[in-house]
Amino acid sequence: MTDPETIYQRMKDLPSARLLGAGTPMCAGCGGLQALHEIYDVLGEKTVYVNAAGCMTLLSVYPFTPFRGSWLYTAMASAPAGAQGVRDALDILLKEHRIPPAEDVDVVVLTGDGAAYGMGLSAASGAMERNLNFIYICYDNEGYGNTGQQYSAATPHAARTATSKGGQGFAGYKKDLFSIWAAHKPAYVATVIGSEPLDLARKIEKAKRMKGPRMIIALAPCPTGWDYDPQESVKIGKLAVSTGVWPLKEYLNGKVTHTMPPRQRRPVEEYLKLQGRFAHLFTPRRNEPLLAELQASVDAYWAGVG
Ligand SMILES: Cc1ncc(C[n+]2csc(CCOP(=O)(O)OP(=O)(O)O)c2C)c(N)n1
Ligand code: SF4
Ligand SMILES: [Mg+2]
């Protein structure tokens, strides 16, 4: 058997693309991993990731992590509080000249939607209130993926989840986390998706240059939870944008700007029908009222954009 030190030496010499792609226990076609991969390429190695329980936790199995920087695991509601501790420790080390400024690192919270939209929301609110200098990445696969896709506060209306079965799917509505975060007036808030990598990279580069709370929500197409063929992940991500279901936007200095508004929106149905979690809207017969309601809510959003 190979000893841990030899494994570590081999792992640390692998390029980041391989570290985050092959050899991880993630599902094929994971849209969250795609976004994280792209984000990591922009943020670079000088980062500490503070992670709350979820699918991405599987990336790091103690004492290893595929990230070249550091990784800290916290309880599900506490990642922003953990980030505060890490940032404070770094600031003390810098102030006391125990590390040079060149050794400072970005503190990055990485959680799923279950933590960001639910259990960890008050910790994020407190961190923004204290103007914590950190970046928060939420990969939003619209459910508790790691425990079998139970509904979360990010689950869209009518989707089937492990806890929302039957002809109407999930009875609730997806929480508007972008607006909740923006209401705190942090330095920056943005939505991104891995299937639009240029828009994503531009936003992460912008966030990296800033200080203060920088909050990012990445819609994360999830073949396992959303029930579709893994090779469709990029297509589904692009449809989320072109149908208007996932508006790409940013909040900066009190203003919200849409960065890729769909010129001619495609019907929402094109996005829904590729995913098994919405199959009950089409078979055994079309649920016209529910399909019309879902289209109308997207239309109403864009009518308000002006
Ligand atoms: C307080 C608490 N409750 C429940 C769990 C069990 N748990 C681990 S991961 C997870 C799902 C998290 O969902 P999300 O944040 O959306 O991440 P995903 O699994 O979708 O990546 C849950 C419920 C936990 N770790 N801590
Ligand atoms: S369940 Fe979904 S989010 Fe989790 S690893 Fe699999 S594809 Fe990715
Ligand atoms: Mg999730």
Q: What is the 3-state secondary structure (H, E, C) of the chain?
A: CCCHHHHHHHHHCCCHHHHHCCCCCCCCCCHHHHHHHHHHHHHCCCEEEEEECCHHHHHCCCCCCCCCCEEEEECCCCHHHHHHHHHHHHHHHHHCCCCCHHHCCEEEEEEEHHHHHHHCHHHHHHHHHCCCCEEEEEEECCCEHHHCCECCCCCCCCCCECCECCCCCCCCCCCCHHHHHHCCCCCEEEEEECCCHHHHHHHHHHHHHCCCEEEEEEECCCHHHHCCCHHHHHHHHHHHHHCCCCCCEEEECCEEEECCCCCCCCCHHHHHCCCHHHHHHCCCCCCHHHHHHHHHHHHHHHHCCC
Q: What's the pLDDT at 9?
A: 61
Whether 186 is in the pocket of ligand 1, judged by its Cβ within 6 Å, is: no
Whether 141 is in the pocket of ligand 2, judged by its Cβ within 6 Å, is: yes
Give the 3-state secondary structure of 163-202.
CECCCCCCCCCCCCHHHHHHCCCCCEEEEEECCCHHHHHH
State which of 20, 24, 26, 140 you would mutate to test the pocket of ligand 2, scoring each by most atoms of that ligand within 8 A of its C-beta: 26
Whether 250 is in the pocket of ligand 1, judged by its Cβ within 6 Å, is: no
Ligand in nearest proximity to the CA of 146 = 1
Distance CA 170, CA 111 (A): 22
State which of 110, 111, 224 you would mutate to test the pocket of ligand 2, scoring each by most atoms of that ligand within 8 A of its C-beta: 224
Ligand in nearest proximity to the CA of 36 = 2
Q: What's the pLDDT at 61?
A: 79
Amino acid at 299: D
Q: What's the pLDDT at 8?
A: 56
State which of 20, 36, 37, 55 you would mutate to test the pocket of ligand 2, scoring each by most atoms of that ligand within 8 A of its C-beta: 55
Ligand in nearest proximity to the CA of 145 = 1
Measured by CA distance, the residue closest to atom 25 of ligand 1 is 53
Atom of ligand 2 nearest to the CA of 139: 3
Whether 147 is in the pocket of ligand 1, judged by its Cβ within 6 Å, is: yes
State which of 49, 142, 147 you would mutate to test the pocket of ligand 1, scoring each by most atoms of that ligand within 8 A of its C-beta: 147
Q: What's the pLDDT at 21?
A: 47
Q: What is the distance in A from the centroid of ligand 2 to the CA of 257?
A: 30
Measured by CA distance, the residue closest to atom 20 of ligand 1 is 145
Q: What's the pLDDT at 10?
A: 56
Q: What is the distance in A from the centroid of ligand 1 to the CA of 133?
A: 25
Q: CA-CA distances (angstroms) from residue 296 to 37, 177, 266?
A: 34, 20, 13
How much is the pTM?
0.93
- Token match 């259990």: residue? 119
Distance CA 169, CA 92 (A): 50
Q: How is residue 220 written in tokens?
A: 């994360």
Alpha carbons within 13 A on the beta-carbon side of 156: 23
Q: What is the distance in A from the centroid of ligand 2 to the CA of 30?
A: 5
Q: What's the pLDDT at 246?
A: 98
Atom of ligand 2 nearest to the CA of 220: 3
Distance CA 242, CA 248 (A): 10
Q: What is the pLDDT along the chain (306 residues), one digit of tens a residue?
A: 566 666 556 545 444 444 444 456 789 999 999 999 999 999 999 999 999 999 999 888 777 778 888 999 999 999 999 999 999 999 999 999 999 999 999 999 999 999 999 999 999 999 999 999 999 999 999 999 999 999 999 999 999 999 999 899 999 999 999 999 999 999 999 999 999 999 999 999 999 999 999 999 999 999 999 999 999 999 999 999 999 999 999 999 999 999 999 999 999 999 999 999 999 999 999 999 999 999 999 999 999 997
